[in-house]
Structure 1
Amino acid sequence: MTTYISSLTIPSFILEKPAASILLPIALGTAVGFSTRPDRTRNTYRTIKNPPGHPPPAAFGPVWTVLYGCMGYAAYRVWTTGMNVFDAKTTLLAKQGATLYSIQLGLNLLWMPLFFGLGRPIEATADIVTLTGLNAYLTYIYSKVDPVAAWLQMPYVAWLSYATYLSAGAGYLNDWSFEGKELGSKDD
C-alpha cells in the first residue's frame, strides 16, 4: 500500500487539466533530452556496445513523446475520476496514484542523465528496474480507479521492460563502465 504525499505529488491544478497533464511529462522529457546534449547522446549510443535488437537512435524521440503523452493523459483520467466520486477508497487510490506517478516521473527523468550524461550504467539500470516495477504497480492502482488509464499505461510498462533489457545489456556488454568509450567523440 502506498501513501499520498502532497509534497511529492504534482500539483492538482496540473492533473485537473488534460493539456497540462499531457504536456508536463513531454516538456520535462524534452528538457532532459536536450540537457544531456542530443549529439553527445547519439554518439555515446553508437560508441558503446548495445545488445541485439536495439533500435536506431531516431526511434527514441517519437516513442517517448507518445509514451509521455499517454502517461500524462492516464494521470489526468485517474485524478479527475478519483476526485469526482463519492467513494473514499477510489479517491484515496487516485491520490496514491498521483504520488506514485510523480515519483516514477522523477525516476524516468533521472535515467538519461545517469546513463548518457554520467556514463553510469549500473545506477541507470537500478533506476530503470525500480521504474519498471513502480509502473507495474501504478498500472494496477490505475486499474482500480479507471481501467482506460491502466490500458494507457501498458505500452509504457512494455517499453520500460524493453528499455531495462537495453540498459542492462549495454551495461553488461561494456563491463558496467563507459569509461574509455570515448563518449560523445564520434562525429555525426
Structure 2
Amino acid sequence: MAAQVKGGRSPWKMALITVPAIVIIGSLMGYLSNSGFENGWYAILQKPSFQPPAWMFGVVWTILYTLLGLALAIILQEPPSKQRRDALWLFGGQLALNFAWSPIFFGLHMIDVAFLTVVVMLIMAIATASLFRRLKPVAGWLMLPYLLWLCLASALNYETGRLNPSADAAPLGITGVRS
C-alpha cells in the first residue's frame, strides 16, 4: 500500500535520498557549530522560562528533518511546473537558512542576526508549505510541525537575546540593548 503520486511514481525511493541528506546535513551543521547546551558560550546564558529540555532538541530536529525530507520527496515526484519550481526554490532557500542558523547563533554568537535569519526562514517555510499543499496536500501538512517549531525557535532566539543583551557579538538592537 505504498503512496503513489501522479503517473504511478512512488516518493519512497526519492525519500531514501532526501531524508538522510537533510538529517545528515542538519546534524552536521549543528555539530560543526557546537550547537546546544555543551557550547560554553551558550551554557552560561540565561535561558527563557519556556525553554524545552536539552534532550528534546536532537529528537525534535531529527523528526522535523525527516518530515521535511519526506515532503521534498513527494514534491520532487510531481510533474515539472512553474509552481513546483517555485516551491522547490523556496524550500531550498529556507533550508539553507535553517542550516546557517546554528553557525550564526552558536558559532558566531550573533543573536540578532540569528533572529532575523529564523524569522525570514519561517516566512519562507510558510510560503513553501503553502505551495507544497497546493501541489500535494500531504507535503504541505508534513511541514506543519516544522512551522510550529520555527515559531518556538523564533521566540527562544528573541528571548535569549533579550535576557542576555551583552552576549550578542553583533548586536543590531533587535532583541536586547547593551547596558
Q: 1:66 to 1:176 in 2, by over 3 A?
A: farther
1:16 CA drift (Å): 7.2
Structure 2 match to 1:5? none
Q: Please tell me whether the aligned partners of residues 42 and 57 of structure 1 are also in contact (alpha carbons under 8 angstroms).
A: no
- Equivalent pair of 1:82/1:93 in contact (CA under 8 Å): no
1:87 paired residue number: none
Per the alignment, in what secondary structure is the counterpart of residue 17 of structure 1?
Answer: helix
Matched, 1:129 2:126: no
- CA deviations 1:17-73 (Å, max 9, x no partner) are 111111111010111111123577444333111112101222111110110010011
Does the CA-based 8 Å contact 1:171-1:177 persist in structure 2?
A: yes
Give the alignment partner of residue 147 of structure 2, picking from 134, 154, 157. 157
Q: Which moved more, 1:92-101 or 1:117-126?
A: 92-101
1:63-82 aligned within 5 A: 63-82=60-79
SS of 1:49's equivalent in the other structure is coil
TM value normalised by structure 1: 0.78
Measure the CA separation in 1 of the matches of 2:136 and 2:70. Answer: 12
Query: 5 Å matches for 1:95-134?
Result: 95-134=85-124
2:29 to 32, 39, 45: 32
Higher mean C-alpha deviation, range 143-152 or range 28-37: 28-37
* Residues 1:140 and 2:135 aligned together: no
Task: State the distance in 1 between where 2:166 and 2:154 align.
Answer: 14
Q: Is 1:78–1:145's contact at 8 Å kept on the other side of the alignment?
A: yes
Aligned 8 A contact 2:46 2:160 in 1: yes
Where does structure 2 lack aligned partners over 5 or more consecutive residues? Answer: 1-11, 170-179
Match of 1:56 among 26, 50, 53: 53
Instruction: Give me the CA root mean square deviation.
Output: 1.9
User: Could you say which structure has the greater relative contact order, defined with CA pairs below 8 angstroms and 6 or more residues apart?
Assistant: 1
Identity %, equivalent residues: 27
Equivalent residue pairs, number = 158
What code does the residue aligned with 2:158 have? Answer: A
TM-score of the aligned structures, taking structure 2 as reference length: 0.82
Which position in structure 2 is the counterpart of 1:168? Answer: 158
